[in-house]
Copies of this chain bind each other. A is one copy, B any other.
């Protein structure tokens, strides 16, 4: 039994928050900007070089000769169809490279296509007419939302036509009683959530790119984000979709009902299909009430075994109000502290592991009482070693910054090799120890410039078994990569994990799907692709 005084000490309010820490929103965005799972060096300090063409980076990919080259007649057809200069960027008849660049390149400047025509349909009928024509003419296309994806799924590889959904951005209806929202695919997530906030509701999805990403793109990539632990997967919250199929057929499955058992739930196939079997044009989704109270606690633990115990207790005791349970290892926190020495650490001592818990509910006093009681309990049981609770919004943001600032800080020395994976929870951290030991054994880790590796760290969404395995490096090094691949993928396959927890496949992971899916399943997926898109015009060279 721990003395009561020590328990009281654990529950002391956090009174050291500094005003200079970045806001949750900005640091979250920074985290997203750096995130990537392909082993590629991203330098935070060096000036940006011109992005290489994807075809140079992937010389093995050849243009599918089934696809027609864009002609003047095609452009004329689209101009007549869309009827507005602003709805089309024509790179065939004029030099529009600069205008087209933002549509050809992803925001990480990792992938660059060679598209010469961008179409911006204004209606579902426009999308239908475009796809019907492209399918008949064998013109390949790339559906594009906010272009915030991390695996190169939303930009062309060769000369595919970009169909950008930004003009379809209307909210059609929101039923304040049932919580069902119907909106265009091109609505920006944050704008949509603000609309809901004014009506006491919340979009059941939150992620770093919310200021740019489209809700249609969120559906197409089955985005997971920060609220999955609480609000569940989009497969559960999406009520209906309107989708234009590759041949122009409009599938109107825009139901606003929570229960509708009348036939196969076809819309589910399009959630996470990454635009390979249709373009999502409208979304109907169940939006919960917005919680009025948010509380955050931050604590240290001595082993991953204790982290699992704490998670189990949190699920039991905080149950319905638990909205986040984030994991950070000691190495990640000490690296954040090295980069930001002026930010005072939430806990004085060093701990092998740290967790951040967020609760959200309808009564702040109740939630705080539950959180206090939980912390007392896990302290008494010696599950956690030390901890603090945020007393106001500034402290809350400060605590979050120690989790959300990790990716940005890891890039400080030069770059980061990153993997975004799901692993059954009991094995979730072992891969970090394993890779770390291999790097040490190979003599690659050290404090000085002669060593390529600064450190191997693990952090992520404990609540979703979603680990970010990161290797912070000073420079690109083939010896480091030799250790990482295919070893990491084999390790994940062996534990029945997923090589892509939430980012999807795109072009980056197309070749690795076999580590997470068996041949039969991949064959069945290809059957679906062939059923809906026999000419293969939708987002070619990617996905399965």
A316 to B292, CA, bound (A): 9
Query: What B residues does A528 contact at CB under 8 A?
Result: 264, 266, 531
Chain A residues 341-370 with CB under 8 Å of chain B are 360-363, 366, 369-370
- Does A499 lie at the interface of the complex (its beta carbon under 8 Å from any beta carbon of B)? yes
- Does A381 lie at the interface of the complex (its beta carbon under 8 Å from any beta carbon of B)? no
A9 to B272, CA, bound (A): 53
Of the candidate stretches A45-53, A307-315, A468-476, A477-485, the one touching chain B is: A307-315
Query: What B residues does A200 contact at CB under 8 A?
Result: 316
- Does A321 lie at the interface of the complex (its beta carbon under 8 Å from any beta carbon of B)? yes
Q: Is the CB of B525 within 8 A of A263?
A: yes
Q: Contact string, A413-426, partner B, CB cutoff 8 A, digits 1/0?
A: 00000000011111
CB distance from A382 to the nearest CB of B (A): 18
CB distance from A408 to the nearest CB of B (A): 23
CB distance from A169 to the nearest CB of B (A): 23
Q: Kindly identify which residue among B252, B253, B370, B498 contacts A257, using a CB–CB cutoff of 8 Å.
A: B498
CB distance from A425 to the nearest CB of B (A): 5
- Does A268 lie at the interface of the complex (its beta carbon under 8 Å from any beta carbon of B)? yes
Q: Contact string, A265-294, partner B, CB cutoff 8 A, digits 1/0?
A: 110110111000100000000001101000
A369 to B365, CA, bound (A): 11
Interface residue count for A (Cβ, 8 Å)?
Answer: 92
Query: What B residues does A237 contact at CB under 8 A?
Result: 232, 236
Q: Please judge, given known A-B contacts A291-B320, A366-B370, whether A263 and B422 are in contact too, CB under 8 Å.
A: no
Q: Is the CB of A319 within 8 A of B362?
A: yes
Chain A binding surface, main DSSP class? loop
Q: Please judge, given known A-B contacts A320-B361, A370-B362, A527-B531, whether A501 and B259 are in contact too, CB under 8 Å.
A: yes
Of the candidate stretches A23-31, A102-110, A132-140, A510-518, the one touching chain B is: A510-518
- Does A387 lie at the interface of the complex (its beta carbon under 8 Å from any beta carbon of B)? no
Q: Is the CB of A525 within 8 A of B264?
A: yes
**Closest CB pairs A-B (n = 5):** A236-B236, A268-B268, A260-B498, A319-B362, A259-B501
Q: Footprint of B on A, CB under 8 Å?
A: 175-179, 200, 221-222, 224, 228, 232-233, 235-237, 249-253, 255-266, 268-269, 271-273, 277, 288-289, 291, 308, 311-312, 315-321, 360-363, 366, 369-370, 422-426, 464-466, 496-505, 509, 513, 516-518, 520-522, 524-525, 527-529, 531, 543-544
Please name 8 pairs of A and B residues whose Cβ atoms are closer than 8 Å in the assembled complex, sorted by A.
Answer: A251-B520, A264-B277, A265-B272, A266-B521, A266-B525, A289-B319, A320-B361, A362-B370
Given contacts A259-B502, A320-B320, A321-B362, 16 further A-B contacts (CB under 8 A): A177-B425, A224-B261, A232-B232, A251-B524, A252-B520, A259-B466, A261-B503, A264-B273, A265-B272, A266-B269, A269-B269, A289-B315, A291-B320, A317-B362, A320-B362, A528-B531
